[in-house]
Amino acid sequence: MLIMRNFKPLNVNLSYSKGALLQKPYLHFSLSKLNIDKPCESFKYSYNNLEIDQYLEDNVPPKRLRAYALYNIEVFDSETISLRYNSDNYYKQNVTDDRGKLRIFKPIEYKYIYSDYIVSVITQTMNLLLQCNPYIKCVNIGVHQVRNITYPDINSTNSPEGIHRDGSDYIISALVVNKQNISGANSIIKDYNQVDEYITSLETNEGIFQEDKELWHYVTDMYCTNDNYLGYRDIIGLDIDILQHINECNE
């Protein structure tokens, strides 16, 4: 099922994003800097409804829950993009490890597919992408809604594969929606030779946009700050695959 809607991306603070992306192929951003409103409370609550990620080894007790949505995007001009939700929930990464196997995830709840929050994140991601490559015509964006859970005696990780790439052109490795009672979970960007390029701990409503062909990334284990309670971190992640450039349409 394909359902198309057209959107006009909000203006990104160009002095904040474009200048940074010209200097290095990644951006540590906040929602406010990209003119994105915070997610509604019902979307935050929807993380409680996520299913266990059956493809994660040693996921008992549950350490990762996940849902997924795929969007097909076409750029018409500098003002308008079409955003089509594609209900195909098959997912396969262009990598050589087990993540390259076909996986099927439960879709993100339909009432959030065109929610203001997700649409704003996608359209502003397209703004960032077009600053890196202004000749893009068609793009697929996969949106992952993920909860990682840690327990007083069991740490959790969002990078069980270690230092890695995701097999896309660009990614948002994580945009933090909510987190409770966790420490660790430091995001690390590494250069082509796997030397540390940037290290940070993402706060709620912060994320990282980065190139995924040359750069590597990793997230350190997270653990409970207070061992009397479990902890969790709720994120969305985006896989961004460029399908076509404008000049290819004219050939």
Q: What is the pLDDT of residues 180-231, one digit of tens each?
A: 999 999 999 999 999 999 999 999 999 999 999 999 999 999 999 999 999 9
pLDDT at residue 113, rounded to an integer = 94
Distance in angstroms (rounded) separating the CA atoms of residues 9 and 3: 18
CB-based contacts of 138, cutoff 8 Å, min separation 6: 72, 73, 74, 75, 242, 243, 244
How many Cβ atoms from other residues are within 10 Å of residue 183's Cβ?
A: 15
Burial of 118 (0-12, 13-18, 19+ CB in 10 A): buried
Q: Record the tokens describing residue 71, joined without a space.
A: 């969007």
Residue given tokens 């030397």 in the structure block: 195
Residue 17 in this model has a pLDDT that exceeds 80: no
pLDDT of the residue at 203? 97
Q: Outline where DSSP puts E strands in the chain.
A: 2-7, 26-30, 51-52, 64-75, 81-86, 90-91, 103-104, 136-150, 170-180, 182-184, 187-190, 196-200, 206-211, 216-219, 222-224, 231-245
* pLDDT of 95: 67
pLDDT score of 2 = 44
Amino acid identity, position 64:
R
- Write phi, then psi, for 120 (nearest 5 degrees): -65, -40
Query: Can you give the pLDDT at residue 49?
Result: 96
Q: Which CATH superfamily is domain 2-249 in?
A: q2cbj1_9rhob like domain (2.60.120.620)
Q: What is the mean pLDDT of the chain?
A: 88
pLDDT tens digits, residue range 97-142?
A: 677 677 889 999 999 999 999 999 998 999 899 888 888 999 999 9
pLDDT digits (tens, 9 = 90+) for 37-87: 999 999 999 999 999 999 888 888 999 999 999 999 998 876 678 889 998
Per the omega criterion (within 30 degrees of 0), is the bond before 61 cis? yes
Q: How confident is the model at residue 168 (pLDDT cuts 50, 70, 90)?
A: very high
